[in-house]
Structure formats: structure tokens, C-alpha cells
Amino acid sequence: MTDVAKAGETRRRNDIRDRWLLSAPALTLIAIAGTGPLLIVLIYSFLAPGSYGDVKWEFSPNGWFNVFLSRDIFDNTVSLADAHYTIFWRTLRLALATTVLCLLLGFPLAYFIASRPPGSRSIWLFLITIPFWTNMLIRTFAIAEVIRNEGIINSLLMRLGLLVAPVQMLFTDFATLVGMTYVHLPLMVLPLYASLEKLDFRLVEAGYDLYASRFGVLLRIIVPLTRPGIIAGSILVFVPALSSYVIPLVLGGGKNLMIGNLIELQFGQGRNWPLGAALSVTLVLVVMIAVIFYMRNAGEPGGRAHG
Amino acid sequence: MMAAAYESGAISLEGVMKRFGDFQAVDNVTLDIKLNEFFTLLGPSGCGKTTLLRMIAGFEMPSGGRILLDGKEISDLLPNQRPVNTVFQNYALFPHMSVAGNIGFGLKMLGRPKGEIRAAVAEMLRLVQLEGRGDSAVTQLSGGQQQRVALARALAPRPKVLLLDEPLSALDLKLRKSMQIELKRLQAETGITFVFVTHDQEEALSMSDRIAVMSHGKVRQVGSPADIYHRPADRFVADFIGETNFIEADAVSIAGGVARVRLPSGVEIPATFPAGVTPSGKVTVVIRPEHAQMVAQAGDGALRGIVGDIIYLGTDTHFHVRLDDGSPFIVRRQNATNGPSEFSPGESVGIRISDNVAQIVMNQP
């Protein structure tokens, strides 16, 4: 090897070492805060439950078994864990409905803000962030106050004579949906706004010029070009909606559980930490699959817009 | 040759106004743009030419007046209801669509069958010399190619009028020149009425059948390129189109439609003047730099001065002369032979003016 080649080799090796050193803080943080806890949860899901919570350090597949199947305590027959599937299905349905509702409500709102004069946009964005100032628990109770049987909506409608008896809204899936949409809407609006703000309005004019209707321009020009924002917003809403805990507890009345509540039950009253851990890992997997699926299907054509 | 004939349309503007708040962007413009015409709206930025174009396209609604297409009022129609298409300044191509997707967009929105769209896209690609590029992403094309796609996209739905909003301004000089020729060819081949907006007077002169010169929202003059150049209606037009020498002179007499003016040097020369005015007293006379020659004997010319800067431009040389009264005067001389100029800075020279080139212009109100 010539001296020049040797010097190049040394430089290359130093360069690689420096890169590792420089990224060490970030990697440490990811290990401690991200991967580590997940690993612990994963390990717990393969252990046996302790008598008063906690885990016994012996291998047991029962945690995972109980996620999908249930064994009858009297005759030991194995059947599908119907209650779990109902909860999974409700969780998925509510999270999807929340995402769609947030998108339908958030898109016009983000478009409105993005089409204001630049000076007043920041005021509108500021208004959007105001709900974040209040604790989510308080906001959730506030919604309960509005929709309960003696709440503002029911009493107003009854006083107007439009209703004879109050409509049951609180402690239903509907209540959970309203609450989740309300809480997650800003998470949809902000990335949508970021995309819409970058939209070249001349493309909209070009669309109208080429005989597109208002709906045609929206569907064929505005939506495809703001796809990155739609994806980001949808993920930001869908993921926390999937693991909601407080909202279904307060507004669903604890009867209409979502996965989050189920997991809490296992770590609390259920005293079955391995099952809770297995459910948690299941939730992570569901989120991962959903996000990958979503990016695959919605991501590709929009990518070109930033070329 | 074209697969089908294009239909062309005529535009009439009647007292068109546009106000943005306190700003009068377009002020009472009345114009007739004829069938098959290459018509140019020319003026400095902020003169209202683009606003006028946007009103024809339907992106802006006039604050007053009427816009007619083939005699039918279109002022109240939305852009997607007007058989008029626009080539935008920065092309505004849809980045998420292929070249073919862009070109076929208008026809698709008109609900034409797929086969017809495919045939039209192929024809357009041939027309703008981009055969085989239909599947390319528009973001991968060069500026000149994007320009062609923008043209093809606007022509594909066969509009009656094509509006072009400074379409060449983003191209470099060489490409601009070749696109100018390309545009002229497309216009001749399709016969569609072109309304072209530019601030580049050279572009306007070389391409247009007729030009409307605009400033401050008003049309100053409408005419053929030669009309505008040789018989500018007022000082603004004379100044904006080409290089010009302005000389303050006295109108002495008028006979047979021609005035005699006395130059500061005391020499009297004939000068034409715009219709509808009667020059008298102090007037401004326009003499183009190429209409004057330098002579070595100071007494032989109509004007006298001292040579200042000499600017060599390859085909021409510009002599900046300071006249006896202190005002500047430019003489352009074609470099018919090689070799150094026979004049040098600081030299005292005479300036001879060609016959029948001087023109009196009115100062704008």
C-alpha cells in the first residue's frame, strides 16, 4: 500500500469513528428512552404474572395466549377471546373515524388559514394552539358537561321543544368519537397548514383555466400536492387515537373500552402484567403496520411534488 | 399539418377598469384584438398589462367595463367557462403529473374520451417537438422544455384565444430567441389569436402583429411595431420603445401636415407630429440614434457637440455626444468595416440628421 493510500485509509477510519462519537448522545437517548422500555415490555409479555401484580421471572406464553384466546375456567376449553376482539375492532374503528373526521374538518380550516394574508396567519395558528394550554382531562370533562343528559345541548333542545326526553350521548361510542376528534384536530390542522401554505396558488389558477371545476381542482391538484401534510396529519391523529385512554374512560363511561383501557386494566385491577405487556406490544405492532400501510399507499405519488 | 382546424376568436375590451383598493391597476381600457392576431400588451412592470390579461382569462373580475369574445360578453364567466387558455409566467406545470398528464388535463376536465385525449396529446407533443417525452416527469425537464409543455397544455383544448403572461422571461437569451421563433411558428400554424404580455420591447417588436403600449393602467398607443417605433404617440412611448434622443425645440410653422422646428443650434428641420395635435411654441422632438450621423466638420451638421463615451457593441458603435447646450445625444453607427473608429473622445463633431425622421411628441398628461 502506498503512503497516499494508507493516509486515505486512516482518514476514512477516523471519519467513521468521529461519526459514531458525534451520534452517541442521540443513540444513547434512543436506547434509554425508546428501545429500552419497549424491550422491557416485550420481555414482560413472555413472563408469568405475580400474585399481586408484577411478574415472576419464569417463561410463560400465557400472556400472548390470553391476548387472542381464552380458556374456560371450568372445563378448560379454548375459545377466541371475543371481548378482546370487540375492543380491538372498536379501537380501530374509532381511531379511523377520528382520523377521517379530523381530515374532513381540518382541511377546510387549514385551507382557510393558508389563504389568509401572511400577517394574520400567525394569529389564526395561535388560536389553533389555545386548546393545548388546558389539560386534556379538563377538556374531556368539559365535553362531558356539554353532551350529558342534563348538559347544554340536551337542555337547550328540550327547552326549544325539539326534544321531549334527552338524547343519550354521554357514555357512548359517539361521545368518545366527538372527544377524540376535538382533542386531535389541532394535530391534523398544523401539518395540513404547513403543506397548504407551500402550495403554489398559480397551480390552482392553472387548474381553473384548464376547465376544472372547484371540486376537480381540489381533488386533482390541491389534494395530491398536499399529500405529505395529509399523511403526516393522519398519522399524528391516528396513532394517539389508537392508544387513547382518558377519553374513552371519561366519555365512554368505562363501558366502551378501547385498547388503552384494556391495558390499564391488566396492569391495575387485573394484576396480569404479562397480558398487559402483550397487549401493549400488539398495539405497537398494529400502529406500525397501519403506518407502513398508509405510507405505502398514500406516500409515493406525493413524493414527486417536492422534486 | 394539423389534424383539425383551430378556431380563433376576437376579443373586445370596452372601457375595462380594475381597482385594487385605492390603486387603479387598469384604467378605462378599450381595445379590439382581431382574429388570428399576435397581439402584445407591452409596458413596464406595474402598468396593468398582466391584470388586463388576467381579466381576459377570468382570474380577476373587472371593476367596470365589458370583455367580449366574438361579440359575446364573457366578463361574468368563470375561468373554466371561457374558451381561453393561459401560458403562465413560471409555467405552473402540475408537478405531480407527467408531461402527457399535464397536456391532457384540460381535455380530461372537459370530459373528452380517453382515445381523443391520447391523440390530442400525441399531436401536441409533435407540435412542440417533444415526441416521446410524454411519460417524463415535468420536474425532470429543462426550462425550455417546460415552456413547451406549458404551451402544449394550453393549446391542447383548442382555445379560441391563447393568453401568454411573460412566458419567455425565465429563459436565457439564446433560448428566448429560439422560443420567440417557435411561438411565431405555433401562432401561424394554429391560427389562434395570441395575446402576449411582455415588458421586453425587443420581444414585442419582433413578434407582434400589433402592440398596445401601456403605462399606469392606460393604453398609450396601439399599432404595428413599425408604427409604434417610428411614430410614437407620446414621449412615454418614444422613451420606452428603443433608444431615443429627445431635443427641446421651437415649433416655427406648420405646412402640409409637417411642422418646421428650430433646434437649439438654430438649424430648422422638418418634423412630423401625431394626428390631432397642433404643435406650437416649445416642443419635444424625437430622433432615433440610428437616424443621425457624425460628421467631422462641426459646421456641417444640424447639431454640434463634443464626443464623450464611445461604446463598441459588435455590430454597432454608440457615440455619446454632449451637445453645445449641454444635453446628451446618442448616435448609432453600424460597423460596416473593421478597424478603429475615426472619432475619439473629446473631439468636436457635427451631427447630421436624416431627412424626414424627426417627430414631435407630446408630453404625457
Complex-level ipTM: 0.83
> Count of domains in chain A?
2
For A211, the closest of B59, B94, B106 (CB atoms) is B106
Residue B69: pLDDT band with limits 50, 70, 90: very high
Give the number of other Cβ atoms within 10 Å of residue B214's Cβ: 28
**pLDDT confidence bin for A294, thresholds 50/70/90:** confident
In a domain, A105, yes or no: yes
A55 and A92 in a single domain? The answer is no
Q: Give the model's pLDDT for residue B5.
A: 66
Nearest CA in chain A to B89: A202
Q: Considering chain B, what percentage of its residues have pLDDT values greater than 70?
A: 98
Q: ∠ CA(A295), CA(A301), CA(A303), 5° rounding?
A: 75
CB contact (8 A) between residue A203 and residue B90: no
- In percent, the amount of chain A with pLDDT more than 90 equals 51
Given CB atoms, is B94 within the 8 Å cutoff of chain A? yes
CA atoms within 13 A on the CB side of B183: 32
Asked whether residue A80 is domain-assigned, the answer is no
In this structure, the answer to whether residues A26 and A102 fall within a common structural domain is no
Q: pLDDT digit string (tens) for B230-281?
A: 889 889 999 999 889 999 888 888 888 888 898 888 888 889 888 777 888 8
Same domain, A294 and A157: yes
A281 within some domain: yes
Judgement on whether residues A67 and A93 belong to the same structural domain of the protein: no
Take residue A135 and report the three cell numbers written for it: 389539560
The answer to whether position A296 is within a domain reads: yes
Q: What are the distances in angstroms from CA A207 to CA B49, B54, B89?
A: 22, 14, 15
Q: Are B161 and B195 in contact (CB under 8 A)?
A: yes
For B96, the closest of A206, A216, A301 (CB atoms) is: A301
More confident residue, A203 or B355: A203
The two domains B11-230 and B243-361 share their CATH topology (first three levels equal): no
Residues of A in contact with B110 (CB under 8 A): 211
In sequence order, the β-bridge partners of residue B164 are B87, B196
Residues of A in contact with B95 (CB under 8 A): 203, 225, 304-305, 307
Q: Quote the Cα angle for B150-B224-B91, to 5°.
A: 10
User: Is the pLDDT at B63 greater than 50, yes or no?
Assistant: yes
Q: How far apart are CA B138 and CA B160, in angstroms?
A: 26
Residue A178: domain span: 85-306
Q: Domain spanning B243-361: which CATH class is it, in words?
A: mainly beta
Place of cell 401601456: B214
Q: Of A71, A97, A119, which residue sits at a domain end?
A: A71
Per domain, the residue ranges of chain B are: 11-230, 243-361
Of A208, A224, A304, the CB nearest to B79: A208
The predicted pLDDT at position A305 comes to: 39
Best A200, A211, A230 member to test B by mutation, with max B CBs in 10 Å, is A211
CA angle, B312 then B314 then B318, to 5°: 35
Q: Domain boundary residue among A71, A100, A129? A: A71
CB contact under 8 A, A213 and B110: no
Say if residue A30 is in the same domain as residue A151. Answer: no
Minimal-distance CA residue of chain B relative to A301: B96
Residue A77 lies in a domain: no
Q: Which CATH class is domain B11-230?
A: alpha beta
Q: How far apart are CA A169 and CA A155, in angstroms?
A: 13
Residue indicated by cell numbers 436506547: A31
Contacts of B84 in chain A (CB under 8 A): 209
* B157 in reach of chain A (CB within 8 A): yes
Say what the pLDDT of residue B3 is.
46
In a domain, A78, yes or no: no
CB pairs A-B closer than 8 Å: 70
Tell me which of A21, A48, A71 is where a domain ends.
A71
Q: Are A146 and A250 in contact (CB under 8 A)?
A: no
For A214, name the nearest residue in chain B, comparing CA atoms only: B80
pLDDT band at residue A298 using 50, 70 and 90 as cut-offs: low
Find the mean pLDDT for residues A119-135. 89
A233-268 per-position pLDDT tens digit? 999 999 999 989 989 999 988 778 889 999 999 998
- Summarised one tens digit per residue, pLDDT across range A141-173 is 999 999 888 888 888 888 888 888 888 888 888
**Residues A38 and A109 occupy one common structural domain:** no
Say yes or no: A204 and A57 in one domain. no
**CATH number of the domain to which A123 belongs:** 1.10.3720.10
